[in-house]
Amino acid sequence: MEDYDVRQLVVGGTERGWRVDTARAAVLIHDLLPYYVDVLPPRVRRVVVEQSQRVVDWARKNGVPVVASAPRPASSIDQRGLGGSLWGLGPSHAEASVSSLGDLGDAVWVGKRS
């Protein structure tokens, strides 16, 4: 994993030739659940969670909606598609409703098919 700090990214700047339109943007937190994140090496897990939290904090400060996704619970391995061979049945309903970022209270949660 390459070391970088999301604060070094230019948000809303023109250095990269584009500008974030906060009125038309959203931040997606995709599968950032303990079920998946806790299998990462401790340093990687810490960096992923810290950097993701910074992005969420920026979004909230700038009025950008936060959307979080998690897989819908599966009752058979066939429902998991390609993810089944990696993660088995995947997280339970309770596990899929907890973010590694802690409280995402104002986030819109989307149950997706894996």
Residue among 31, 38, 78, 103 flagged as catalytic:
31
**Residue indicated by tokens 């061979």:** 85
> Alpha helices of 62-100 — where are they, by DSSP H?
83-87
Interatomic CA distance for residues 31 and 57, integer angstroms = 18
Q: Based on the residue annotation, tell me whether 31 is a catalytic residue of this protein.
A: yes
CA-to-CA separations, 27 to 6, 30, 91, in angstroms, rounded = 14, 9, 22
Residues serving a catalytic function are: 31
